[in-house]
Amino acid sequence: MIRITVACILSVLLIGANSGVLPQPALAAPPSDSLLGQISRLQSEITALQAQVNALQTKVEDLSLLVVHTKPGIYTFTEGTNDLVPLDVVEGNPITQSNQFITGGDFTVTYTATCAVAAAQGNDLPWMNLEIELVNVATNEVVVLAPSNGTDDAFCTANGTLGFNGWNMVSITGVAKNLPRANYTVQIRANIQRNFVGTASGSLSQSSLIVRK
């Protein structure tokens, strides 16, 4: 039996040598629970957890106050101008654009200020119109948020008494809907509407700007 077995082995070797292919010893498959396998699984789990953390962080950012600005003091402007309103003071200089923020979808912008309109004696028609402008930093595209997109939304009006008086603190909230996620800033534009007698002016003071998701 031994001679037959050896002969068989020699025959196989000779056949393999003649054909140019020698039989290769079978390699043992690495155990499924090898160290490399464990490391690979841990890396996959870490990647999946990091994706979940990033998603949760985005949700937390989107549910927070995105921008808050306050400005003391008084800002006045005259009829015929359509200027941007100072929102804050940084290093002694007024700024007219909010800090940049990244968001998308639906969110709100609320501007609050003490407001008055000065007009001629007996003229109570003029009003102050505000526009809440959302600026896409990358494209410079400007979107005026409703309901401030028009000239009929009176922030405050003249009361028929000469000069500034009848001050009131009022707010307007602009609504952004279905916007692409991007880097934005906010600016407020003010002007006087419907004055037909003399010259009218507007005044804003003690203001705040809040962007909320």
- pLDDT, position 61: 55
Separation between Cα atoms, residue 93 and residue 29, nearest integer Å: 72
pLDDT in tens, the chain (213 residues): 444 444 444 454 444 445 554 455 555 555 556 888 788 888 888 888 888 877 666 555 555 789 999 999 999 999 999 999 999 999 899 999 999 999 999 999 999 999 999 999 999 999 999 999 999 999 999 999 999 998 888 999 999 999 898 899 999 999 999 999 999 999 999 999 988 888 999 999 999 999 999
Q: What is the pTM of this model?
A: 0.70
Structural domains present in the chain:
66-212 (2.60.120)
Q: Give me 190's structure tokens.
A: 């003010």
